[in-house]
Chains A and B, each alone.
Chain A
């Protein structure tokens, strides 16, 4: 396996996975700390399910370590009780897309903690557009909200960045190991019961597995299969990510968001260009 592959593993089995770069996941600080003790410098990041009650135990982890907290919007206020983690680590909140999203994003970003919308947990996307408008226009928002931020900046620079780039499911770069040591490319694929390997020392992948070839040939499949994604006007901001697991996924709220991002980026580019002209 290439050294560049980052493997996300449950903290409880971290020591069983032979990989150069690990992201360890858990809901309990103790487990994270224990895993860190076992695998040390191979840890490239931490993923916590919520702010654990015993978060203080994480204090011994190296500062600047990327730490991602998975949060439901209703639990967003907890970020204020844990601001020390933002001072200590490279902290971001991975927020479920669900009711209360706007308020959740508002709270977390007000505490100057960046938010990443968790597209593996899309329950209710009805507040997506309000969250985007908050990100684009509200003066309280001074930290990135992903995917909005990268998509907007990409459009502004004329080099769009897609969801597939922001939430990679590339087996050559990212692997996801579940509790039963099965290997796939992301949590949502694991939840969908789709795997292409298992852990036996290192991650053993079966390159003939259907999922593997689906992932490798993802773009080709879209263009030769007559998929709607191939002719979607926001394809460059998605790359077919949203419908990879469920081809019937309702992208409508996302499409609106993508089109708004494109329009606003165009507006800003125009303003900047006119401002540049004025200065000249």
Chain B
């Protein structure tokens, strides 16, 4: 039985491209088919929804996922999401991979399904990991090359490290330096080794004595504390968090949870259900059942094998020394599969008990002797809710810094303005910026009829604007030209505010902007900019018929980036491509239906642009931009106020006649839209409750 949240360890394939000696998983070619997967997750979702679960985290493990094609998990994930959505379950996906099969072809899958986050494994020194004959140090070098490639594309990696006997010969400081200084990782978790499944034959080699392991952990902890450089090294950090902030604030590894049976279960490639991938691989005789053979997951979950596991903690308390242990509430008896492999009985305490105790002692000593930790505790308010950050210093100005674009969005209103950049664009922009600064502009938006990052002079423009005294610089981008280097150069030049255009998830985005690969670029840009901790990071999504059904999922994803400050949903004016493709643009009643489920409570960063007030009365709207925002496209043009630019809208007559109280704040409706659909739709719209 589960709480509201449950995790599923999903092993879609037992195939692996590595031959690691300490692995507990037997390698086979077993891989679940998409059809089987649909059956499995249909049954799982039905059961979980029925027992009141609301949130499911799915951990994709192997075997090795990257032995599959990148499209396979994407399709599988979409099927799972659709099934879970149908059962009112919210699902998040996490990936554990050895990374050896990684290449940019995976990026789209990684961004769409896994939000750009990967878990991998790397030991130091490497003794057991092997990939196609590559082992030892060479394995790590090979891994690091792939890691560098992944992170340069904005992907985030965390690593599980399993100490071996040679690890214990390394100084803890060197160990720490390897992961955090040399590789630049931000998050590492230490797991203790155990010999089960195929690795049982090397049990004497793989298993570590608890005493030296404990010493190593305690010394490594001292290094971690002395460095205090903001990285996460678990289980240290989670134990500190538990001691200082309490259980709710701590995310402890599974082997320290009170009863793992209440938290997760595992699904294998043949539909087999077990406790976790370690049980599934090492002790298949302990599986609970097979979901392809039984329609009801509930029947499987009451299998005697599972009930025996569920009773372990209670047995430990009744029959072992655990109750007397000062650290029982931190360790809860440790891992049952480690107990089974190390002591032959899952009802024993974890074989690394003594090592854990040493670690707990070290952590406790540190916590008690560190007033700054307690200060954090006493100062800790409930986690601050995300809140919308909107507005800029006025007056502001918009500079069209590129007329070229590599996208051709289906709604692009200024499509007719896109062209080659004029040869004297730099001079025009420099003049414009100077003029703006002299006339007192405080904010400057770099945008374009095209994509500003395609203009190699962008950083120079920004530097000039800052030097000329303009306070806030904004960059609008589709993300295509955003690299770590550019983000850093822009930061140095004074650009601290960004708008990234993301119009859908995966293929949806690519179809909307009509360029394959653009989704990955947009998310990579979002990730890289997020990592630079900008003042503002807004996501801009133009609503249309292709994305309107996945807006919530998209907003969930953007909320996952800690630095996003607004997610603007906008309706484009019916001009350019939007008019040409007007059959793909949103009709207002449909939009009203879709936006009705979006609330500021659930999506606190949402703000609407150019959407009539009555379509989403509960959400914040941007009204007509003030006159102080001025636009100039070309040197030959005069600078015009944005209000004039908004002249494409009108207040529908029925709204006036009905005396709508929101006329002052409503942007109205596009004139061409009104011409197309007449007032009947508006009457229907305002007549509905």
Query: Which of A3-11, A81-89, A147-155, A171-179 is near enough to bind chain B?
Result: A81-89
Bound CA–CA A115/B311 (angstroms): 21
Distance of A59 Cα from B49 Cα, bound (Å): 10
Could you say which residues of chain B place their CB within 8 Å of the CB of A61? Answer: 52
Specify which chain A residues have a CB less than 8 angstroms from the CB of B317 in the assembled complex: 76-77, 80, 107
Question: In the complex the two chains form, is B323's CB within 8 Å of A87's CB?
Answer: no
Q: Is B295 positioned at the interface, with any CB of A under 8 Å from its CB?
A: no
Q: Once the chains bind, are B247 and A59 in contact (CB under 8 Å)?
A: no
A33 CA / B330 CA spacing, docked (Å): 34
Our pick among A60, A109, A110 for the contact of B51 (Cβ within 8 Å) is A60
- Give the distance to chain B from A75, nearest Cβ to Cβ, in Å: 10
Q: Is the CB of A86 within 8 A of B242?
A: no
Of the residues A55, A78, A87, contact of B314 by C-beta under 8 Å: A78
The 8 Å CB contact of B310, one of A81, A139, A140, is A81
Contact with A along B508-532 (1 / 0, CB 8 A): 0000000000000000000000000
Tell me if B138 is interfacial: C-beta within 8 Å of chain A: no
Residue A103 interfacial (CB < 8 Å):
yes
Cβ-based interface call for A111 (8 A): yes
The 0/1 profile, CB within 8 Å of B marked 1, for residues 112-130 of chain A is: 1000000000000000000
Residues of A within 8 A of B330 (CB): 140
Nearest-CB distance from B8 to chain A (Å)? 15
| A63–B323 CA distance with the chains assembled, in angstroms | 30
B247 to chain A: which residues have CB within 8 Å? 112, 142-143
Interface string of A164-201 (1 = CB under 8 A from B): 00000000000000000000000000000000000000
Q: A107-B323, A140-B329 in contact; A83/B259 too (CB < 8 A)?
A: yes
B248 to chain A, nearest CB (A): 8
Q: Which residues of A contact B310 (CB under 8 A)?
A: 81
A112, B258: Cβ atoms closer than 8 Å:
yes
The answer on a CB contact under 8 Å between B258 and A83 is: yes
> Is the CB of A209 closer than 8 A to any CB of chain B?
no
Cα A77 to Cα B54 with chains together (Å): 28
Q: Output the least CB separation between A39 and chain B (Å).
A: 18
Q: Is there a chain B Cβ closer than 8 Å to A26's Cβ?
A: no
Interface centre among A59, A109, A143 (most CB of B within 10 A): A59
Bound together, the chains give a CA A88 to CA B4 distance in angstroms of 5
Q: Using Cβ atoms and an 8 Å threshold, which residues of chain B touch A78?
A: 314
Say yes or no: is B392 at the interface (Cβ < 8 Å to chain A).
no
- Supposing A60-B51, A61-B52, A87-B5 touch, asked if A142 and B262 sit within 8 A by C-beta, the answer is no
With a cutoff of 8 Å between Cβ atoms, the chain A residues found around residue B542 in the complex are: none
B3 x A84 contact (CB < 8 A)? yes
Query: Given A109-B329, A112-B329, does the pair A86, B318 have CB atoms closer than 8 Å?
Result: no
Judge whether A56 is part of the interface by a CB distance below 8 angstroms: yes
* Any A CB within 8 A of the CB of B246: yes
Q: Is A106 an interface residue (CB 8 A)?
A: yes
Interface size class of B (residues with CB under 8 A): 20 to 34
> What are the interface flags for B537-577 relative to A under an 8 Å C-beta threshold, 1 for contact and 0 otherwise?
00000000000000000000000000000000000000000
* Chain B residue with Cβ nearest A112: B247
Is there an interface contact between A87 and B329, defined as CB atoms closer than 8 Å?
A: no
CA A55 to CA B311, docked complex, whole Å:
14
Are A86 and B246 in contact, with the CB atoms below 8 A?
no
Please name all residues of chain A whose beta carbon is closer than 8 Å to the beta carbon of B364 when the two chains form the complex. Answer: 139
Question: Looking at the complex, which one of A77, A86, A112, A139 makes contact with B326 (CB distance below 8 Å)?
Answer: A139
Q: What is the number of residues of chain A that contact chain B, defined by CB distance less than 8 Å?
A: 32
If A77-B318, A80-B313, A84-B262 touch, does A140 touch B3 (CB 8 Å cutoff)?
no
Contact of B1 among A84, A110, A138, A142 (CB under 8 A): A84
Residue of A nearest to B298 (CB): A56
Question: What sequence of 0s and 1s flags, for each residue 307-321 of chain B, a beta carbon within 8 Å of any chain A beta carbon?
Answer: 000110110011000
CB-CB contacts below 8 Å: B282-329 with A: 302, 310-311, 313-314, 317-318, 323, 326-329
B243 at the interface (CB under 8 A from A): yes
A209 to B371, CA, bound (A): 57
* Inter-subunit contact A59/B52 (CB<8 Å): yes
B2 in the interface (beta carbon within 8 A): yes
Q: Are B242 and A142 in contact (CB-based, < 8 A)?
A: yes
B332 part of interface (Cβ distance < 8 Å): yes
Closest to B327 in A: A140
Chain B, Cβ-Cβ closest to A103: B323
Distance, CA A203 to CA B327, complexed state (A): 49
Q: How many Å lie between the Cα of A78 and that of B313 in the bound state?
A: 9
B314 and A81 contact, CB distance less than 8 A? yes
Quick one: given A59-B51, A80-B259, A139-B364, are A110 and B332 in contact (CB under 8 Å)?
yes
Q: Mark B442-472, 1 if CB is under 8 A from A, else 0.
A: 0000000000000000000000000000000
Contact of A87 with B262 at beta-carbon distance under 8 Å, contacts A55-B1, A59-B51, A78-B314 already known: yes
Cβ A77 vs Cβ B328 within 8 A: no
Q: A87 contacts which chain B residues (CB < 8 A)? A: 2-5, 262-263
A56 and B1: CB pair below 8 A?
Answer: yes
Instruction: Give the complex CA separation of A112 and B326 in angstroms.
Output: 14
A-contact bits for B252-267, CB 8 A (1 contact / 0 none): 0000001100110000
Cα A84 to Cα B257 with chains together (Å): 12
Interchain CB contact under 8 A, A59 and B323: no
Complex Cα distance A62/B246, Å?
A: 25
CA of A110 to CA of B247, assembled, Å: 10
Q: Which residues of B contact A110 (CB under 8 A)?
A: 258, 328-329, 332
Measured in the bound complex, the distance between the Cα atoms of B333 and A80 in whole Å is 11
B5, B51, B52, B317 — most chain A CB neighbours (10 Å): B317
Q: How far is the CB of A67 from chain B (nearest CB, A)?
A: 12
B-contact 0/1 string along A80-108, CB 8 Å cutoff: 11111111100000000000000100110
- Per-residue CB contact flags for chain B residues 1-28 toward chain A (1 = under 8 Å, else 0) read 1111100000000000000000000000
Whether the Cβ atoms of B4 and A63 lie closer than 8 Å is yes
Contacts of A103 in B (CB 8 A): 323
Determine the residue in chain B with the shortest Cβ distance to A87: B3
Expressed in whole angstroms, the Cα–Cα distance for A140 and B331 within the complex equals 11
Q: Are B3 and A86 in contact (CB under 8 A)?
A: yes
The reply to whether B52 and A63 form a contact with Cβ atoms under 8 Å apart is: yes
A97 CB to nearest B CB, Å: 20
Given known contacts A60-B50, A80-B259, what 16 new A-B pairs fall within 8 Å (CB)? Answer: A56-B51, A56-B302, A61-B52, A76-B317, A78-B314, A81-B310, A88-B4, A111-B332, A139-B364, A140-B326, A140-B327, A140-B329, A141-B329, A142-B243, A142-B329, A143-B246
Interface residues of B (CB under 8 A from A): 1-5, 50-52, 54, 242-243, 246-247, 258-259, 262-263, 302, 310-311, 313-314, 317-318, 323, 326-330, 332, 364
Query: Can you identify 13 A-B contacts, CB atoms within 8 angstroms?
Result: A60-B50, A81-B313, A83-B258, A87-B5, A87-B262, A88-B3, A107-B323, A110-B328, A112-B247, A112-B329, A140-B326, A142-B242, A143-B247
